[in-house]
Structure 1
Amino acid sequence: MAERIVADLVVERLRAWRVPRVFGCPGAAIAPLVGALDDAGGDPAFVPARHEETASYMATGHAKFTGGVGVCLATQGPSAVHLLNGLYDAKLDSKPVVAIIGEDVTGPLGGAHEEIGLSRLFGDVCNQFVRYGRRPEQVPALLDQAFRTAAATRSPTCVVLPRVLQVTAVPDLLPQTAGVVTATPGEPLARVLPHDADLDAAASLLGNGRRVAVLVGQGAHGAAEEIVALADRLGAGVATSLLGKPVLDERLPFHTGVLGEVGTTAAAQLMGSCDTLLMIGTNDPWTDWFPMPGQVRTIQIDIDGRRIGTRYPVDVPLVGDAAETLRALLTRVPDQPLREWRGMVEKMVDRWRETAAERAAAPAEPVNPQLVLRELSARLPRHAAVAVDVGSVIYWYARHLELPPGVQAQLCGTLGSMGCALPYAVAAKLARPDEPVLALLGDGAMQLNGLAELITVAHHWTRWRDPRLIVLVLNNRDHSGVGGGRTPGGRRSDVPYAGWARLLGLHGVRVDRPDLVGPAWDEVLAADRPAVLEAVVDPAVPLEPPEPALADLRGLVTDGDAARRVRERVIQTEAIAADEVV
């Protein structure tokens, strides 16, 4: 029997934490742990990525799609540096990830090739927990603490294991280590509810509102039933942050869509017309589309009190779990739906849906990208998972892909780093091999990370019960992206994306005519293997961000004349709203 070493001990702790797989790239300083994972019989499995950055995206994608703790590993030096993008994604979107880094400092004079100060390198992105292993008996408790901290703070943590420690023999009797937390990683570790006085204050504020708006973020996941019940009780309109888009059924008649630069006109109008705002589990950075300060009274619900009031002034803070807090509010808020306000909201939604349909049907050369997402919306499989990249595809996803209940969707929402969608999709598919997964990205993201990680897809797909992992590439051969306008530098080199898929033994379809878009979706959704749908789209289709509500009033001073002008404008808005209802 082989001697038990610390690398084996690490695998045991990963297994104790129910980690199904570890993403990473092999390297000399982490080789003993990779070897132990290879010997683990798939429990946990080691998933080699083509690049450390995509490994960290896979770990973050695993956390986003499963609610568990993602795990990635790398060796020192540039390998460790490459993990940062995915770890910052986890930090800014509040997802638990543990990074395990190997280090070898046995070179001349104590230095080593590729040596970088790992504590300082990871000190910001993993600011909640960065620790070095020094002795075998420390390792179990060190890993347990890293996992507990990641789960409790919803953030990435880092453990550095010197190579010499990884190969050190484990004593037969290690000191007793702390037990493993049995709560589901990534979920609240305790029941958190606001104080009764705060709930009463929030209920009073909501009950006195004449035009209530609800802004839903990713922290409201699992609270859809309570949100709809409260919105119906108040006759409120609903908008979501980009990350909150999958929380509610977007077919609801009072659902105005995504708020912000990539969002809808209806959501901007909702924010500009409301007098009371309830924010649930959102840290949305697009505050230019929020109501003008002083226009509304605001309640914010968040499990993390540190987030309350960081984006927008709050009158009543409610620190608590979204679903439980909403249930407590429902017992206090009177059932007095404001039908005139609800009617106005539904008119906003109807008008926006007409606009969106017109935009998708507009002629383009050769294909309108909005049409591509709209055709998918009618065909999106139930219980699918959707991964979305950064770029113009976010605009079309936010406005044209209608997510029914049961469909998960994830993106790099706060960091906004390109190249995440295909790694996310790989992580989602490995976690749910019996359900379809879609990755939506542009040609820039496909060239950045997607072409290489399609090799990872080709390596794994024959073991999936449902082989459908569909990659949409919006090929506009252009460098434009989020923010609008054309980026200097000329057109991007073209790549035969569908042809590359076929070279790897996958399915590939290229479409450059609008009448073929629907049949192309039917073909890839029925394929017996992963597929790339390459849509050749028009780079000149405008992004058309909605106008921020009451944008001309922003920045006014608080003197008497300015306050009077603000009041007059709000009165004008109310009069327009009343006329529209009639």
Structure 2
Amino acid sequence: MADTVSDVIIRRLKDWGVTRVFGFPGDGIGAFDGALGKAEREGEGIEYIRPTHEEICALMATAHAKFTGEVGVCVATSSPGGFHMVNGLYDAQMDNQPVVAIVGQQGLASLGTFGQQESNLERVFQDVACYVQTIVSPAQAEAVIDTAFRTARARLQPAVVVLPHDVQAMKAVTPPVAHWVSRASRVPASSAITPPEEELRKAADILNAGERVTLLVGAGAQGATDEVLKVAELTGAGIITALRGKDVVPGDIPHHTQQVGLLGSLPSLHQMHECDTLLMLGTNYPYAEFLPETGAARGIQIDLKPEQLGLRYPTEVNLWGDVRATLQALIPMLEPTSDPSWQRTIADEMRGWEREEEAEAMAHYDDGANPRRFYYELNKRLPDGVIVTADAGTTADWYAHHLRFKRGMRGDLSGRLATMLAAMPYATAAKFAYPDRPVICTIGDGAFQMLGMNELITLKKYLGRFSNKQFVVLVMHNNDLGQVSWEMRTEDADPVWRTAQDVESIDYAGYARLLGFQGIRVEKNEDAASAIETALAYEGVTLIDAIVSRNIPPLPPDITKEYAKNTGLALLKGDPFEFDVIRDSATALATEGIERVKGALHLGRGGKHSDESQQ
């Protein structure tokens, strides 16, 4: 049987290193799916993972790219399937991930004629993708696939290939040496970009002159951990990680103060207020109000995305380059500091902050368990090599505040898009990428109900192929879209509107047991540790249904007047949980205040850092 265009595309995918695609079938992509099936039967196929929804396919492809550094690939049928993938592709776009989507289309003759499931897919995907192209002839197929992969990898963005149904089954041709025909290369563009030496020297001079250097490290520094730590050692710098860069720097580095901003730590905020030099590494951190005041610090930024350089802070030097390669070229130009006082100050305050976080996790509330307690107990028991995902919402707060990743551990979430439900497809994709490693998904009940519950079905389908079957789903069950409820109060001074905010309560542990998994329901703080130990000891899927309070505030490290004022106004307008919110907020604030006083007294006995710790 002669090769078809679909056969050629499948071989080309393998040439680009693709071993797995996430797809959902349909008639618009039918001939391509048939070719995938034929390749599988002949032992030359690509692993085809079929979750329960096309949006999940795209999110899994994005997560695959994040966790492996490879190009993620998703496949869907024409219009409805392609439309479902858009959200996941925006996640890839906004978090700078290389993904290639192959989307079916009705036959060539139907284009522009208002046919069944025929729409202008190129126009639909034009905003989300860095490259969108329809394959309209066999001679064009290889060049389009190669361009999609090369562009996605070089620009760290999604690319979309539209594949009409009749073209999928056309007889393949070798691209001829002819006018209008491209004969493409299967070689990616090099991304180990380093800036010119004179620009590196400018950056080195600024860092060498700094007395209080801070590194803000993002996910773009993945793979450059040793270089980041070397720069911190030479410059005496403190380290802050953006939320998606959390796993780049080990959590046991004393001068690593974790995140900054609403989900961050007070030591990170103090670093930003007091540093005289800021080096931003592979981050597009979006909250400018938490960066130094203009002119307060000299700024340098290193990033592979040139359009994102100098965008968040008025930097003096913008280095377009790969973080690891650029730091390797920069390090020989740095002069070692002999003054460790900045790092020591940061480490001292961070120890106090950790005590405060522990106290907040141990606090008792009358209207449900403390969600912080589960993350605190989980952090103490994270197994080696674990991969942890978090969802958008308050789970991201607890993830940021309480989890500390050691070397070899990974963690991620939907960053700039912050889409709900991503934690489950992220975790499932991580399990496919690393079937020998434990995976933990932390998610709220609202996100879990969106599509997250579906992915327990996907796990049931594929569980047998994982050598390590440990997979833990930690559901924060508070019957509320918690983050949005708090945003209504703190941002808009509105009371919670239960018509929109309530989440229907169901037995999540029972649902897990229905599928043959281990389900554990937890209602008390003191049972959190044993539940997590039981889950981590189980060789299979465990769902922990954590019944937690909906009224515990995700407190920022520094409460602004606007935050306090808006919350007060919301309560005065008749918030349905007014009493519980006041009581639980008072408990959280009291715990926070007591620990800060203790920290101030502790540091005061040591002398020099007492003023700073009281800020």
Mapping of 1:46-445 within 5 angstroms? Answer: 46-105=48-107, 110-126=113-129, 128-171=130-173, 173-175=174-176, 177-181=183-187, 189-364=190-365, 365-445=367-447
After the TM superposition, which segments of 4 or more aligned residues of structure 1 sit over 6 Å from their partners? 548-552, 575-578
Query: Structure 1 residues 8 and 344 mapped into 2: Cα distance closer, same or farther (>3 Å)?
Result: same
CA distance in 1, matches of 2:230, 2:517: 45
Q: Does 316-325 or 214-223 show the bigger shift?
A: 316-325
Query: Structure 1 residues 580 and 477 mapped into 2: Cα distance closer, same or farther (>3 Å)?
Result: same
> Would the aligned equivalents of 2:154 and 2:191 in 1 still touch at CA under 8 Å?
no
Match of residue 588 from structure 2: none
Structure 2 residue identity aligned to 1:123: Q
Match of residue 16 from structure 1: 15
Aligned partner of residue 482 in structure 2, secondary structure: coil
Match of residue 597 from structure 2: none
CA distance in 1, matches of 2:205, 2:322: 20
Query: Structure 1 residues 366 and 5 mapped into 2: Cα distance closer, same or farther (>3 Å)?
Result: same
CA distance in 2, matches of 1:495, 1:303: 45
CA distance in 1, matches of 2:613, 2:81: 59
Structure 2 residue identity aligned to 1:148: R
Structure 2 residue identity aligned to 1:284: Y
Match of residue 468 from structure 1: 470
Shift of 1:440: 1.0
CA distance in 1, matches of 2:324, 2:170: 48
CA distance in 1, matches of 2:240, 2:169: 54
> Would the aligned equivalents of 2:111 and 2:118 in 1 still touch at CA under 8 Å?
no
Residues 548-572 of structure 1 show CA distances to partners (whole Å, capped at 9, x for unaligned) of 89999xxxxxxxxxxxxxxxxxxxx
Shift of 1:348: 2.0
Q: CA RMSD in A?
A: 2.3
Shift of 1:92: 0.7
Shift of 1:324: 2.6
> Would the aligned equivalents of 1:479 and 1:487 in 2 still touch at CA under 8 Å?
no
Structure 2 residue identity aligned to 1:299: I
> Would the aligned equivalents of 1:38 and 1:45 in 2 still touch at CA under 8 Å?
no
Residues 308-351 of structure 1 show CA distances to partners (whole Å, capped at 9, x for unaligned) of 10111111112222123223322222212433322221222122
Shift of 1:211: 1.4
> Would the aligned equivalents of 1:278 and 1:298 in 2 still touch at CA under 8 Å?
yes
Mapping of 1:496-535 within 5 angstroms? Answer: 496-535=507-546
Shift of 1:378: 1.0
Structure 2 residue identity aligned to 1:116: S
Structure 1 residue identity aligned to 2:164: P
Structure 2 residue identity aligned to 1:111: F
Shift of 1:239: 0.5
* 2:30 paired with 1:31: yes
Match of 1:539 among 545, 550, 568: 550
Structure 1 residue identity aligned to 2:414: C
Mark the runs of 5 or more structure 2 residues left unpaired by the alignment: 178-182, 490-494, 564-606
Structure 2 residue identity aligned to 1:453: E
> Would the aligned equivalents of 2:64 and 2:72 in 1 still touch at CA under 8 Å?
yes
Shift of 1:116: 2.2
Query: Structure 1 residues 551 and 200 mapped into 2: Cα distance closer, same or farther (>3 Å)?
Result: farther
Match of residue 564 from structure 1: none
CA distance in 2, matches of 1:490, 1:48: 32
Aligned partner of residue 243 in structure 1, secondary structure: helix
Shift of 1:491: 2.4
CA distance in 2, matches of 1:195, 1:459: 52
CA distance in 2, matches of 1:144, 1:229: 37
Mark the runs of 5 or more structure 1 residues left unpaired by the alignment: 553-574
Residues 428-456 of structure 1 show CA distances to partners (whole Å, capped at 9, x for unaligned) of 11111111111111101100011111111
Q: TM-score normalised to the size of structure 2?
A: 0.86
Match of residue 559 from structure 1: none
Q: TM-score normalised to the size of structure 1?
A: 0.91
> Would the aligned equivalents of 2:54 and 2:84 in 1 still touch at CA under 8 Å?
yes
CA distance in 1, matches of 2:117, 2:85: 15
Structure 2 residue identity aligned to 1:280: L
Structure 2 residue identity aligned to 1:503: L
CA distance in 1, matches of 2:135, 2:559: 51
Shift of 1:576: 9.5
CA distance in 1, matches of 2:447, 2:454: 11
> Would the aligned equivalents of 1:344 and 1:581 in 2 still touch at CA under 8 Å?
no
Shift of 1:34: 1.3
Aligned partner of residue 453 in structure 2, secondary structure: helix
Aligned partner of residue 331 in structure 1, secondary structure: helix
Query: Structure 1 residues 149 and 479 mapped into 2: Cα distance closer, same or farther (>3 Å)?
Result: same
Structure 1 residue identity aligned to 2:371: P
Aligned partner of residue 58 in structure 1, secondary structure: helix
User: Taking every aligned residue pair, what percent have the same amino acid on both sides?
Assistant: 38
Structure 1 residue identity aligned to 2:46: P
Query: Structure 1 residues 492 and 411 mapped into 2: Cα distance closer, same or farther (>3 Å)?
Result: same
CA distance in 2, matches of 1:263, 1:540: 20
Aligned partner of residue 244 in structure 2, secondary structure: coil
